[in-house]
Structure 1
Amino acid sequence: MVALRIATFNLENFDETPNPTPNEPTLADRIAVMRPQINRLRADVLCLQEVNGQERPGQPRSLIALADLLQGTALAGWNVVSTEKANGEVFDERNLAVVTSLPVVARAQLLNDLVAAPVYQVLTANPPAAHPQPIAIERPILHVELELLGAPLHVIVVHLKSKLPTDIAGQKLDRYTWRDSGAAAEGSFLSSMKRMSQAVEVRRLVDQLLDADADARIVVAGDFNSTADEVPVIAIRGDVEDTGNGALAGRVLVPLENSIPQSARYSLFHHGTGQMLDHLLVTRNLLANYRGTEIHNELLHDESADFATDRKYPESDHAPVVATFEFT
């Protein structure tokens, strides 16, 4: 019997802090809090979001802060696959990554590859927008094929666009203040378009894998910025209740948090309300091997509360989620 633990964790802008302000934790502060969280997961496959890249003179940008976090854990020295630019360097911010002890067979990333960016005429731009513009996805989707007991395990890592409104030209007084409520509403609409473009691209990727192999084992993990009953996750899941087609039952993706009692089913606190935004979705063929899910949310803080600065809370504002499987 082989046990396998798959986890997802949004590290929240995980980066070095060369010149921290009084309200900003250092990387050492963050590692001191977060390394025990990594150890507790006992993950064999760890899917990460918001991993920032760092530079050293004469060297390409890489995930130096992440390597520091993993040092001293069981994951040190494991395979690390991340999103990257065309030149092979990691992005400055918000990289996706998979850290695993399993052999890596292949990797790919998608950014409007299976879904063309929708074209939209922004209504509230100042000065007015002259022409419709593509509303492109900003965050790639990472697809890593691993080998598990001689067969593929497809791991798809996502970080869907947040619900924060997308900036619109001339409509912000500062980073957080809008000039006009209608512009803020349109900014939210733009963000929802990006989020749904990503969701459709994930679903199309899943269907491509299942077209090639009806028995493909697939895990979609990450920060979806949506609960399981919101449209982006519903679109990715493809439940029969939504497609109306029982012949597609084998293509349904199952949210593993469904086995957690509702009272404990949350991975983020916002304005005093627990929300389940971080998911592990799996193909139904993995349920035979599924043994349970944990959400490590015991110390989760509400960063939207008054005076809740990052200095007080150097950990992530997301709880890690981990699922256990057993294979013969």
Structure 2
Amino acid sequence: MQAFRLATFNLENLDWSATRPDAFARRTGALRPLLEALDADILCLQEIHAQRLHKHGARQYIALDQLLATTRYAAFHRATTVRPGADAPADVHNLAILSRWPMRAQRQIHHDIVARWDWRPPREADGSEAEPAPIVWDRPLLYASVELPNGLALHVVNLHLRAPRAIPVATARGLGSSRAQIEGQFVAALKREGQALEARLFVETLFDAEPDALIAVAGDFNADEHDAPTRLLRGGRDEGAAGARVLIPLEERVEPSRRFTVIHAGRPTLIDHLFASPALAAAWRETSILNEGLQDEVYAPDPIDASLHAPVVAKFELSSK
């Protein structure tokens, strides 16, 4: 049997500054025990910032390199995102996939399947029209095909969907109007659900090539188990539906009292997910959410020590090929 552990963890704006070494040391000191406790063979990370060593230098993953330097993940194979249209990371909210084993392929996906479009707000009562709002994903998806020791390929999709917070939309009544807020909330939903659609359609291409593919979709969905993005990504007609292409939410196999990854104003919520294809779910053995001592994101002191998200890890056992 080939046993392995796959995890996802939002690192909560991981950043580094040469002028604040104590603050970074405090964060790494809080994050490293969590990373070690995951004992992951494949790890999906979100919210990684990139920094410059010099004012005009290219952005690099300095914070990530330093965080991992003294952990089991330091020598892992790595796939990371770049700013769409560029060859260097974005300043904030990059993604990474770390793997104990080599990657056969890796790529980022940003409007490769679902094209950008403009949403035109409805006309005002006086007939005036606002400028169209561009629907563009905030960041790419990240994909890697990991070669497992038994020779099989594990397809991993790491994603961080947009938070459901209103986007400023220009209206004749001004950005602060209730109409601007309402339309901005709708635009945010279009971005979040639209990127979930692109992720799901990419998964469809994996199934097209390999009906019994081992697929994991993991990350911060910014949506609970009943929201549209999770329903889109599952691919079933209804929650709990079965089928050859339905993705199974492995985090929902945790006991209800521990089934949360964020606490918001006293309310535990599950917005970080780990979905598996039927073939991968058949090899599932255990899921854990490391949320002991998790701080409430509304009331947590600033700066935080570790993360306001709890990591999720699943264990699998695959038969030898």
TM-score by length of 2: 0.91
Does residue 307 of structure 2 align to residue 310 of structure 1?
no
Segments of structure 2 that go 5 or more residues without pairing to the other structure are: none
Which structure 2 residues correspond to residues 36-55 of structure 1 after superposition, within 5 A?
36-55=33-52
Give how far 1:239 is off: 1.7
Change (3 A) 1:293 1:171: farther
Change (3 A) 1:95 1:261: same
Change (3 A) 1:60 1:185: same
- Provide the rounded CA distance (Å) in 2 between the counterparts of 1:10 and 1:55: 22
Residue of structure 1 equivalent to 2:231: 234
Residue number among 70, 73, 76 corresponding to 2:74 in the alignment: 76
Residue of structure 1 equivalent to 2:63: 65
**1:15 touches 1:53 (CA, 8 Å); kept in 2?**
yes
Give how far 1:180 is off: 2.2
- Provide the rounded CA distance (Å) in 1 between the counterparts of 2:132 and 2:308: 36
Matched residue SS, 2:314:
strand
Which structure 2 residues correspond to residues 93-242 of structure 1 after superposition, within 5 A?
93-122=92-121, 131-148=131-148, 149-169=150-170, 179-241=176-238
Give how far 1:179 is off: 2.3
TM-score by length of 1: 0.89
**2:80 touches 2:95 (CA, 8 Å); kept in 1?**
yes
**1:117 touches 1:197 (CA, 8 Å); kept in 2?**
no
Matched residue SS, 2:291:
coil
Matched residue SS, 2:184:
helix
- Provide the rounded CA distance (Å) in 2 between the counterparts of 1:302 and 1:129: 41
Matched residue SS, 2:282:
helix
Residue of structure 1 equivalent to 2:310: 319
**2:130 touches 2:172 (CA, 8 Å); kept in 1?**
no
Matched residue SS, 1:299:
coil
Matched residue SS, 2:52:
strand
Give the aligned residue type for 2:198. Answer: E
Give how far 1:131 is off: 4.1
- Provide the rounded CA distance (Å) in 1 between the counterparts of 2:172 and 2:263: 29
Matched residue SS, 1:61:
coil
Which structure 2 residues correspond to residues 257-268 of structure 1 after superposition, within 5 A?
257-268=251-262
Segments of structure 1 that go 5 or more residues without pairing to the other structure are: none
Give the aligned residue type for 1:159. Answer: H
**1:109 touches 1:141 (CA, 8 Å); kept in 2?**
yes
Give the aligned residue type for 2:62. Answer: I
**1:147 touches 1:153 (CA, 8 Å); kept in 2?**
yes
Matched residue SS, 1:198:
helix
Residue of structure 1 equivalent to 2:31: 34
Change (3 A) 1:123 1:271: farther
Deviates more, 1:81-90 or 1:103-112: 81-90
Change (3 A) 1:288 1:60: same
Q: Deviations over 1:117-166 (max 9, x none)?
A: 232124699xx865434311121011111111212110000000101111
- Provide the rounded CA distance (Å) in 2 between the counterparts of 1:192 and 1:91: 23
Give the aligned residue type for 1:16. Answer: W
Deviates more, 1:271-280 or 1:235-244: 235-244
Give how far 1:317 is off: 0.5
Change (3 A) 1:187 1:326: same
Change (3 A) 1:82 1:242: same
**2:7 touches 2:312 (CA, 8 Å); kept in 1?**
yes
